[in-house]
Structure 1
């Protein structure tokens, strides 16, 4: 009986069996190629998006406020037609003007005319400070009491500025005033008024706004004896400016 030959269980290196990789390759999961996001990156992106949304809302709110303010201003203009008050100098008299050394004695009689040209607006004036200067030198100060000016109203404001009390001025100012009086016999005078006014438009009342009134073109002569010297005021022009204060600046 012939002998049977059984093959070995392990294939030889040079044998013709199948090639098997060793060790076997690892099988990657289906989502292995996707990037891995860290939680910190997500938080940073959320913060940036929140900041962008806040900036957009703030910009939109500011733009809306500006639009509403402009519309309100246009509406007030068409309803009330507001105009600034008018001021003029009716009379200016020099009762006394004496310069001795560095002492100045001055007295002036002033009459101002305040006009409210508005049909639906009332002005409420605080006490008014008056300053009279010549070439930048202060030669007299006074005040006007508070008053209310109704619609389409003209008010005459009379006051006496200065007095018999002497006031001190520096030597340079005294020399300048004496030279002006000696050469021309009169002084170029400027009147300045500073006050605050509140405006009433129907049921609406605004806050107090500072205004400054400047009147130029007055030539004042020194009186002779006790009779006051009346200045010519035909060419006097008064300018009204709003004095709006924003932080440290006054516009």
Structure 2
């Protein structure tokens, strides 16, 4: 019986096999999310800074704060002599503080007062805290009495001898403050300004010196 199937003279080709699906790998996806979060945080931070800056500018334009004024109207030096390496001193001051602001009150939470002679601290005194209202003046009377080891040699010793002869001594009195401001019913800030008073104080017991002390405006560094 004859074979009814035809002879295959060539290669047999089956059904077409589909190509494998291509996979894409996205590199750095986690890092991209982190950058996105950082950018969002940075924009938010810049927005907060801008809002706060605008608010501060508006408050400044409304209230126009002025610097506090510190003046030493009187100074009495009844003792200022060196024995060995000990400086004996007795210094009394009359200090006025003026708040020139119309809408801002000031809380003086800390007032640290220290006299210095030739860049050497003599004493430290803490004055009582108080509140100062609008456009008011407060008078303080710090008194420094005691003795302190001082190093006077070379140029400093020559200056001391010259001041002793003239009967007038260069004494710096420095104040370190901690303040809060009252705007309406709101208390703001924790400010730490410094005040430096460069004084020429006559020795009261010296006949050669002038008995008068000239009022001195202190340097206020906010």
TM range (shorter): 0.7 to 0.9
2:59 and 2:123 mapped to 1: Cα distance?
40
Question: Higher Cα Rg: structure 1 or 2?
Answer: 1
Deviations 1:144-167 (A, max 9, x none): 221211001111212211x2x433
Alignment-derived partner of residue 125 in structure 1? 108
* SS of residue in 2 equivalent to 1:54: helix
What RMSD over aligned residues (CA atoms) do the two structures have, in Å? 2.9
1:78 and 1:71 mapped to 2: Cα distance?
10
Alignment of 1:52-91 (within 5 A): 52-91=35-74
Match of 2:132 among 140, 143, 149: 149
Please tell me whether the aligned partners of residues 109 and 130 of structure 2 are also in contact (alpha carbons under 8 angstroms): yes
Q: CA 1:50 to 1:9, structure 2 compared with 1: closer, same or farther past 3 Å?
A: closer
Q: TM-score, normalised by structure 1?
A: 0.74
* SS of residue in 2 equivalent to 1:98: strand
Alignment-derived partner of residue 172 in structure 2? 190
Matched, 1:219 2:222: no
* SS of residue in 2 equivalent to 1:151: coil
Q: CA deviation at 1:109?
A: 1.2
Match of 1:27 among 16, 27, 37: 16
* SS of residue in 1 equivalent to 2:122: strand
Deviations 1:177-218 (A, max 9, x none): 5432322433322110012111110121114322211122x2
Alignment-derived partner of residue 240 in structure 1? 220
Alignment-derived partner of residue 249 in structure 1? none
Please tell me whether the aligned partners of residues 88 and 148 of structure 2 are also in contact (alpha carbons under 8 angstroms): yes
Please tell me whether the aligned partners of residues 87 and 113 of structure 1 are also in contact (alpha carbons under 8 angstroms): yes
1:143 and 1:114 mapped to 2: Cα distance?
16
Q: CA deviation at 1:168?
A: 2.7
* SS of residue in 2 equivalent to 1:208: strand
Alignment-derived partner of residue 75 in structure 2? 92
Greater RCO between the two (CA within 8 Å, min separation 6)? 2
Please tell me whether the aligned partners of residues 78 and 205 of structure 2 are also in contact (alpha carbons under 8 angstroms): no
